[in-house]
A and B are shown apart, each in its own frame.
Chain A
C-alpha cells in the first residue's frame, strides 16, 4: 500500500515569514494529494489539493507543488499569520482498487510567533 512521509514534524516561524512542509509518497500511481489543517481540538479541514496532472496550485497565501518524478509534494505558506498555527497533514490517494482511500502523513505542528 501507499506510504507517506512528512517533514518536519514541528516548524516554528516568525509572523510574516514563509513556511514549507514536505511530503514524499511511495506509490507512483497515486494521483491526488490533499493538505489538511487541524486546529487544536478541531476536525481536519481541507485547505488545498492537487492532482497529478498539475505541477503547482495556488490559493491566496498557500500553494502546493508536486514533483511526480521524485514522488514528493510540498505545502508553501507565505506571509504567515498567527492564525496559521495548527497541525498540517498531507495525504496521498491510494491507486488501483483502493482508490477511494487516503494515506496520511504524521503531521507537522506549525507555530507562527507574533
Chain B
C-alpha cells in the first residue's frame, strides 16, 4: 500500500490564481481530512469527509473547497489564492469512527506571492 499520497510536493502561486491539491489513499478509509500547518503552529482542520459525497467544514474553511466523489480521492481547491494561504497542507485519512488513527500524507508546501 502507498498509504496517503499528495501532489504536488511544492507549488508557488501568484495572488489570485487557483489550484487543486490532490490527495489519494489506498487503504479503503472512510474518513479523510485536510489540515494546514503554519510555522510554529499546530494542525488546523480545513475540511473533512466521512464518506463519498459527504463533506463538511472544519476550523478554517474560508478560501477553500473540497469534493469527495470516490472513497480514494479528496482534492482541495484553492480559489483566488491569497498570501494568507501560504502554508504546508496535509491530507490525512482514518478507517472509521472506531479505529481512529489518522494517517498523514507527505504534505504540499504552498507559497502565494
Contacts and interface: CB of A to CB of B under 8 A. Distances in A.
Contacts of A107: 40-42
Contacts of B58: 101
A46 B90 contact: no
Contacts, number: 47
Interface string B24-46: 00000001010000001111110
Given A100-B31, A100-B48, A100-B97, A43 B106 contact: yes
A3 B45 CA distance: 13
Contacts of A86: none
Given A44-B90, A100-B48, A89 B101 contact: no
Given A100-B31, A100-B48, A102-B102, A43 B42 contact: no
Given A43-B107, A100-B48, A89 B43 contact: yes
Contact of A49 (B45, B50, B101, B103): B101
A99 B97 contact: yes
Interface magnitude class on chain A: 10 to 19
B50 A89 contact: no
Interface string B90-108: 1000100100111111110
Contact of B90 (A43, A99, A100, A105): A43
Interface of B: 31, 33, 40-45, 48, 50, 58, 90, 94, 97, 100-107
* Closest 4 A/B residue pairs (Cβ): A104-B42, A43-B104, A106-B42, A104-B43
